[in-house]
Amino acid sequence: MSETLVVRAAVAPMHAEARVSSPQVSQRLAGHTVTVVATDGDWLQMRGEDGYEGWMHRGYLEPASAGLTSGARRLSLGAIVRDGQSGPTSVLPLGAWLREGVHVVAGETVAAADRATLFPRAAASIAATAVARFAGTPYQWGGITPWGADCSGLVQTTFWLHGVPVPRDAWQQAELGRDAGTEVERWAPADLAFFSDRPDRRITHVGIALGGARMVHLALGRGGYAVEQLAGIDDPYVSALMERLVMARRLL
């Protein structure tokens, strides 16, 4: 039987190989569970709740317990918490689960039972969350939080908040939903737009449509967060981006 562990750090990087100098491929956040697939000394190959695999150092993890996985837990929306009444404080990113017994010092949290009310499964709400919650986010390969994220990390976390699970990578996300065409004026909020800079047209970038020919994304060429007007403007970056457009998909 596979061992299940819980992330103890605010953010735990998942690496491509069992060494700290290998590329970060994704992240898991505090309170989320991971399953051990293989071991290499203090390095564990982990499978996250989304099925994505990567190597994580044992120092980021601890055994699962009822306190970390109970239905009464709270979700961080960006919070500073204190362990007990007088313990040390720590900062948790959007999407992390709070430990049992911690006190919120500042910031926002939401009870698991109220999450669907704050983040309804609705396209317009999903688009609005991407714009508001990730504003100012720097680009970070493998990142999934407003502290630093890549294009597909923005999509995965935003949709997950609203109870819509999607896979980790942009090319995997492109296999979801139904065709939404390539006319940007017809894209609805929360449609996913996919781009490629490869000769074989394999998907390498994704953004979230906002309606009105607008799109929010996290792009290396923009340094991170950007809301683009995709039609009717003279912007060399947007022109180059649209030349790489492959398709759009509608998940909802």
**Residue environment code for 221-234, b if the CB has 16+ CB neighbours within 10 A, otherwise e:** eeebbbebebeeee
**pLDDT tens-digit series, residues 80-111:** 999 877 789 999 999 999 998 899 999 999 99
- The mean predicted confidence, pLDDT, of the chain is 95
Asked if residue 137 has pLDDT above 50, the reply is: yes
Would you state the pLDDT for residue 66?
Answer: 46
Residue position matching structure tokens 């605010």: 10
Q: Is the pLDDT of residue 67 over 70?
A: no
Asked whether 104 and 89 are in contact (CB, 8 A), the reply is no
Report how far residue 54's alpha carbon sits from residue 188's, in angstroms, rounded to the nearest whole number.
34
* Residue 70 clears pLDDT 60, i.e. is over it: no
Q: 191 or 1: which carries more pLDDT confidence?
A: 191
Gyration radius (Cα) of the chain, Å? 19
Residue 232: predicted pLDDT: 80
Distance (Å, rounded) from C-alpha 174 to C-alpha 83? 41
Bigger pLDDT: 214 or 232?
Answer: 214
* The pLDDT of residue 233 is above 90: no
Residue 68: the pLDDT is: 52
Predicted model pTM: 0.95
pLDDT digits (tens, 9 = 90+) for 211-220: 999 999 999 9
Mean pLDDT of 50-56: 98
Domain 123-250, architecture per CATH: Alpha-Beta Complex (3.90)
4-64 and 123-250, same CATH topology: no
Dist. CA 150–CA 126, nearest whole Å: 17
Tell me what percent of the residues of the chain surpass a pLDDT of 70.
97
Give the mean pLDDT of 200-212: 98
End-to-end CA distance of the chain: 36
| Range scoring the smallest mean pLDDT among 23-37, 45-59, 75-89, 179-193 | 75-89
Q: What is the pLDDT of residue 85?
A: 77
Domain 4-64 has CATH 3.30.1360.200: no
Domain locations in the chain? Answer: 4-64, 71-113, 123-250
Q: Which of 108 and 68 is assigned the larger pLDDT?
A: 108
Mind listing the pLDDT tens digit for each residue in 30-52? Answer: 999 999 999 999 999 999 999 99
